[in-house]
Chains A and B, each alone.
Chain A
Amino acid sequence: MKSVSLLLVLGLSIAAVASSCGGNPAPQNTTPAIDTAAENQRVRDSIAAAQAEAERQAAAERDRLEQQRIADSLAALSRSGDEVRSMLGAMIHFDYDRSNIRSDDMGVLDQKVAIMQANPDLRIRVGGHCDERGSDEYNLALGNRRAQAAKQYLVSHGVDANRIETQSWGEERPLVDGHDESAWSQNRRSEFEVIGGGENLRRP
């Protein structure tokens, strides 16, 4: 990550220098015509001065824009880390008393596969959770099934099993308080938590 951003900064700086040296001549590069008439000289000088001033302002503006772009791209870089992190943390959900992966959650898991492959040091823990409707103790077994189901999906798509821990919380850690289907459906979930190698996440 660090080397990437350094390279990026370097590249952008070179680009900035190159553009300031191109096309329009910079004021210090114009050769004053000393051997012509004073009036012409004065006019030319004033034109040149105006041009130089304009050039200087334009250069300053370009410089400011370049700095802005560098800052923006650095921010974007860290935003992409956040984005990867949020993709990685996206939960998947389950039907009541079920532990099979829903088809609408497969894309969410596919993103995690790609992220795990782009970040070989990354290690995660999958936590399986249940709603309050089932039996308290049975839900520990069901939560375990839900965590294992997510892990199995990732492993079957090429992620090393040793990089994924699992844990069941049963119904002990609801995400949403409430006693209706809206709350229950959000609480029947697997959560994904980074437990190692999550400092500089690369985009897949």
Chain B
Amino acid sequence: MGNRKIRMSRQDQIFHIVNNSILFLLMLVILYPLYFIVIASFSDPYAVGQGKVWLFPVGITFEGYEKVFSNSSIWSGYINSFIYMGLGTFINVCITVPAGYALSRKDMRGRKFVTLMMIFTMFFSGGVIPTFLLVQNLGIYDTIWAMVLPNAMNVMNVIICRTFFETTLPDNLLEAAFMDGCSDLRFFFRIALPLCKSVVMIMVLFYAVTHWNSYFDALIYLRDSSKYPLQIILRDILTSNEASALSGLNDDSQAKLQRVTELIKYSTIIFSNLPLLVLYPFIKKYFKKGVMIGAIKG
């Protein structure tokens, strides 16, 4: 593009300077709290408490992480969350992707009606209590199934899949396959899916993050604390202001207790977000793609 060389008006120069500066400041506003948690999790809690920690860790300590690693409920929450995420995502994808494909087929009778039925549920639902009673009546209350079945499908994700199949698979591909005697199921598994691997990937990631971060279902459908996922354990640690959030701290003085609790909070935040932080650089493009497909048809 040669027009970048065109001299900008004074007004536009000012515009660019202001625009860039604001965006740079916003970047700091987003990043600094996250960075602060990282350095605070390694710092002497007294230094953090007195406001001496700003850019680098002060008085490096690993006490917070030691407490986190030696806490059995965090580990059991971690394992539970992984199980719910794995099973839940598997069920989600097995329901969502085939449904999205079926709805993308213009020759399927009832396609509009089913889509409408789905979209209706996005804006009107039975509500918390009727769903809760349903879960109880189905006999899945306080079981792993209560963690994966009530949200086994997200309508928005079905629509994303549908749009993806509609825009990726050309009509004549289907016609050609039918000429050769290919059935619908065979076409879906042998041709459509291999061509649309990335939408499967997008779905896996969307659902996996939702499961990992979900908190509400566990709050209302689980009673047995050995089944609690990580987010419930985190709530107890992060939002409790009582000092004895973690066991084994009782013999210390009250003030010290308070400080160490703060330290543990920082370490816990880092520890709980670790899987995502590690994977983020590799998966970010899929998320963006998913949202953009969803935007094509609101």
Chains A and B form a bound pair: no
Q: Which residues of B does A touch, CB under 8 Å?
A: none
Q: Which residues of A does B touch, CB under 8 Å?
A: none
